[in-house]
Amino acid sequence: MIKLLSLLALLWVYMAVVGATHTADLSRKSFPKGFLFGTATSAYQVEGMASKGGRGPSIWDEFIKTPGAYFSFFKHLLEDINLMVNLNFDAYRFSISWSRIFPNGTGKVNRKGVAYYNRLINYMLRKGITPYANLNHYDLPLALENKYLGWLSHDVVKDYADYAEFCFKTFGDRVKNWMTFNEPRVVAALGYDNGFFAPGRCSKAYGNCTAGNSATEPYIVTHNLILSHAAAVQRYRQKYQEKQKGRIGILLDFVWYEPLTRSKADNYAAQRARDFHVGWFLHPLVYGEYPKTMQNIVKDRLPKFTKEEVKMVKGSFDLIGINQYTTYYMYDPHTSPPKDLGYQADWNVGFAYERKGVPIGPRTKLYEEDILCVQAYSNWLYNVPWGLHKAIMYIKERYGNPTVILAENGMDDPGNLTMSKALHDTTRINYYKGYLAALKQSVDEGANVVGYFAWSLLDNFEWRIGYTSRFGIVYVDFKTLKRTPKMSAYWFKKILRKNK
Ligand code: GAL
């Protein structure tokens, strides 16, 4: 027993020392001059006031049926920006709610909504925080879902581009960093393949949905999302970019997929997964077509870009945002795909979370009564910093080293954690240390990454799991909305100190 204990102690010391050499001296200076640090949020997750201020409903209000109940960034706007300044952040990635600007998706403008974003942007600039504005974070106006089934219709392309253009025209004199969409893959996969997210459509075989077709709809939706993105970029480039001198891009989620074994079959499985995941969007944007693997597997169900569309889509970005949280092993299941066709089924891969009994990274430990969450609360979230390095290097090698921002990264605690435990978030600090060290390594190895955004500034509304999860570096009391920085916020404050 004593032997075992001393061995454990030795191991602990070793881990601490090894960890320390990688991360102890991490600071702003570890990154190139001008590298930006920020935090990210999205409109639906923090704004609240869902049915107030002239806002029209979005598909998420319909999906969850309890419009963003308690949150109100609105009333805390100045306080939250002051917080960012206080914590030494340089930038803030927020999203604009389409239905707060156009309550019906098109047509009449809600001036109160415009005034809100003007106030937000102006105050940020006054305080020296650089705005990164994202035009859509899952929240399509419900009116367009009702009118023509939203993303499933090609009609959305023009309506989206009109909305985007309104934003360029109205805010572009001050906003110089635009993102068209956050995680469009999640919209297509969770909204139309398994029905987990709004608008909750899928085939019977893949979820509890009243309508949908997992075999075709995810692909149609992605096609329309890519065309919407490209149409908005075209408007920006033709009419605003030269004068406003900004840049525009898209935010893509990217789980790293590592082959489970060194077999050829597992390597192919991992590559298929990457192609179906980030390649689904990045391949058309860089090369003008969907990845060959997808073309071969999805065949006629995969829409094609016309010659004109290829011209518009190819090269339609100045920067790419990558949201990176976690990593999984992939293996070839050595079976044919299921007879019910679907987007996830098309990958025909197996997911694994350990190799020879060793987990890919620490994950949620079971909570018992009062036991503190040892890792992330979300069960999909394994802490695997080396996966971030691989993901970034993959984008560099495969897609011509584009300008990248690491646009989301972070971990959550359970929502019902007592405040004092939630504030003592050393696990989150370790998570950030590991991932920032991996990011630094990628930059040192030549990846063109120019900024990092932590998800999230605040504990907020975590989509399907609502307020049961806390991703913030700042604690929010969900009843009073009082904000209290956690230890991780002070850790950021320390490493981001600027030289006077
Ligand atoms: C991202 C999403 C965010 C946030 C985060 C944590 O996929 O863009 O809105 O919820 O995950 O799950």
Q: Is the CB of 41 under 6 A from ligand 1?
A: no
Residue of 420, 448, 39, 382 lying closest to 249 (CA atoms): 448
User: What's the 70 CA to ligand 1 centre distance in angstroms?
Assistant: 19
> Ligand 1 within 6 A of 409 CB?
no
**Distance between CA atoms of residues 139 and 144, nearest Å:** 11
Residue 462 falls in the annotated catalytic set: no
The atom of ligand 1 lying closest to the CA of 253 is: 7
CA of 462 to the centre of ligand 1 (A): 7
The whole-model pTM stands at 0.94
Rounded average pLDDT over 15-29: 64
Lowest pLDDT segment from 18-27, 54-63, 233-242, 283-292: 18-27
463 lines ligand 1 (CB under 6 A): yes
The percentage of the chain sitting over the pLDDT mark of 90, rounded to a whole number, equals 85
Please give the distance of CA 466 from its chain centroid, rounded to a whole number: 17
Mind listing the pLDDT tens digit for each residue in 428-457? Answer: 999 999 999 999 999 999 999 999 999 999
Nearest protein Cα to ligand 1, atom 10? 462
What per-residue confidence (pLDDT) applies to 483? 96
Answer for the pair 474, 76: CB distance below 8 angstroms, yes or no.
no
**CA-to-CA distance for 361 and 224, rounded, in angstroms?**
36
Ligand 1 centre from 253 Cα, in Å? 9
The response to whether residue 139 sits with its C-beta less than 6 Å from ligand 1 reads no
What Cα–Cα distance (Å) separates residue 188 from each residue in 166, 185, 196, 214, 342? 25, 5, 10, 10, 12
183 lines ligand 1 (CB under 6 A): yes
pLDDT for the residue 50: 86
- In the set 47, 145, 165, 183, the catalytic residue is 183
Ligand 1 pocket, mutate which of 47, 97, 408 (most atoms under 8 A from CB): 408
For the chain, domain boundaries: 21-495
Q: Spell out the residues 6+ positions from residue 29 whose beta carbon is closer than 8 angstroms to its own.
A: none
Q: How far is the CA of 339 from the centre of ligand 1 (A)?
A: 31
* Residue 438: exposure state from Cβ atoms within 10 A (0-12, 13-18, ≥19): buried
Most confident residue range from 65-69, 72-76, 267-271:
267-271
Catalytic annotation present for 408: yes
pLDDT of amino acid 17: 40
Token pair of 45 as six digits? 């997750």
In 3D, which of 76, 91, 71, 104 has the Cα closest to residue 132?
A: 91
What integer is the mean pLDDT of 153-167? 99
Q: Which atom of ligand 1 is nearest to the CA of 251?
A: 8
Whether 365 shows a pLDDT value over 60: the answer reads no
The finding on whether 181 has its CB within 6 A of some atom of ligand 1 is no
Cα of 4 from ligand 1 centre, angstroms: 41
Which range of 9-18, 47-56, 252-261 scores highest in mean pLDDT? It is: 252-261
Beta strands in 279-337 (DSSP E): 319-323, 327-331
CA-to-CA dists, residue 326 to 50, 350, 408, angstroms: 31, 16, 11
Query: Using one digit for the tens of pLDDT, what is the confidence trace for 166-214?
Result: 999 999 999 999 999 999 999 999 999 999 999 999 999 999 999 999 9
Distance CA 385, CA 327 (A): 9
Instruction: Report the alpha-carbon distance of residue 321 to residue 325 in Å, rounded.
Output: 13
Task: Work out the burial of residue 33: count CB atoms within 10 Å of its CB; fewer than 13 is exposed, 13-18 middle, 19 or more buried.
Answer: exposed
- Class of domain 21-495 (CATH, top level): alpha beta
> Residue 140 pLDDT > 70, yes or no?
yes
Q: Are 360 and 327 in contact (CB under 8 A)?
A: yes
Residue 272 pLDDT grade (very low, low, confident, very high; cuts 50, 70, 90): very high
Of 381, 384, 386, 352, the C-alpha closest to 364 is: 381
Across 208-234, average pLDDT: 98
Give me the mean pLDDT over the 151-165 stretch: 99
pLDDT band of 379, cuts 50, 70, 90: confident
Q: How many CB atoms lie within 10 A of CB 93?
A: 29
Q: Residue 284 pLDDT > 70, yes or no?
A: yes
Model confidence at 337, pLDDT cuts 50, 70, 90, reads confident
pLDDT given at position 3: 54
pLDDT at 73 over 80: no
Best probe residue, ligand 1, of 132, 250, 455 (max atoms within 8 Å of C-beta): 455
Stated length of the chain: 500
Compute CA distances 27 → 24, 198, 416, whole Å.
9, 39, 32
Q: How far is the CA of 183 from the centre of ligand 1 (A)?
A: 9
Strand, helix or coil at 310? helix
How far apart are the CA of 325 and the centre of ligand 1, in A? 9
Residue pair 98/58 in contact (Cβ under 8 Å)? The answer is yes
d(CA 92, CA 95): 10
> Two tokens at 298?
């999805």
Instruction: Judge whether 149 and 143 are in contact, CB under 8 Å.
Output: no
Residues 97-113: what's their mean pLDDT? 98
67 contacts 48 by C-beta, under 8 angstroms? no
Residues 423, 207: Cα–Cα separation, whole Å: 37
pLDDT at 4: 52
Q: How confident is the model at residue 22 (pLDDT cuts 50, 70, 90)?
A: low
Q: What is the pLDDT of residue 145?
A: 98
The burial of 56, by beta-carbon neighbours within 10 Å (0-12 exposed, 13-18 middle, 19 or more buried), is given as buried
Q: What pLDDT, in 10s, does the model give residues 471-482?
A: 999 999 998 999
Residue 484 and residue 423 in contact, taking contact as beta carbons nearer than 8 Å: yes
Chain CA centroid to CA 174, Å: 24
User: Which one of 145, 258, 408, 462 is the catalytic residue?
Assistant: 408
Q: What per-residue confidence (pLDDT) applies to 431?
A: 96
Read off the pLDDT of residues 312-332 as tens digits, 9 standing for 90 and up. 999 999 999 999 999 999 999
CA of 335 to the centre of ligand 1 (A): 32
What phi, psi does 167 have (nearest 5°)? -70, -40
Average pLDDT over residues 374-402: 93
Would the CB of 408 count as within 6 Å of ligand 1?
yes
Q: Is the CB of 326 under 6 A from ligand 1?
A: no
Residue 462: name the closest of 415, 393, 416 by CA: 415
| Mean pLDDT, residues 483-491 | 98
Indicate if the pLDDT at residue 15 is higher than 50: no
Give the contacts of 211 (CB within 8 A, at least 6 positions apart).
201
Ligand 1 atom closest to 378 (CA): 12
454 alpha carbon – ligand 1 mean position (Å): 11
- CA-based nearest residue to 385, from 329, 337, 432: 432
User: How does residue 364 score in pLDDT terms, banded at 50, 70 and 90?
Assistant: low
pLDDT reported for residue 149: 98
> How high is the mean pLDDT of the chain?
92
Q: Which atom of ligand 1 is nearest the CA belonging to 183?
A: 8
DSSP 240: I
Confidence of residue 19 (pLDDT cuts 50, 70, 90): very low
Residue to substitute in 190, 250, 462 for testing ligand 1 pocket (most ligand atoms within 8 angstroms of CB): 462
Q: Does the CB atom of residue 328 touch ligand 1 within 6 A? A: no
The two three-digit tokens of residue 380, written as one number? 């999909």
Does ligand 1 have an atom closer than 6 angstroms to the CB of 177?
no
253 pocket-lining for ligand 1 (C-beta < 6 Å):
yes
Q: How far apart are CA 221 and CA 213, in angstroms?
A: 11
